[in-house]
Amino acid sequence: MSILKWYAGGQDRAEQAISILTELVADLNHSQQKMPLQQVLSDYIEAFRKKDSAVPFILSRMNLDISSALKKPDCVNCFRVG
């Protein structure tokens, strides 16, 4: 993963986001509990590839959707530590 400058353009941010999201999806084991989060991450990988909206807008939507996915009853305990 390369270092992203704070002033990076949308294309650079999109490429970095795709890289990070792809790693996250690969790291999540395919359990039923984590499926809502995996689906959200996969959807946003596709959104960054399609470039239907501006990258900052996609990132904002992604933050909200990840938060919503983690609050779902079937995903509440999927990242419990200890």
Residue 35 in domain: yes
Residue 58 in domain: yes
Quickly count: other Cβ atoms within 10 Å of residue 19's Cβ: 15
pLDDT at 12: 85
Q: Are the CB atoms for 69 and 36 separated by under 8 Å?
A: yes
Q: Residue 39 is part of which domain span?
A: 10-71
Residue 26 in domain: yes
Q: Is the pLDDT of residue 82 over 60?
A: no
CATH code where residue 27 lies: 1.20.1440.140
- In this structure, the chain runs to a length of 82
pTM (whole model) above 0.75: yes
Residue 5 in domain: no
Model confidence over 35-77: pLDDT tens digits? Answer: 888 999 999 999 999 988 999 999 999 999 999 988 887 766 6
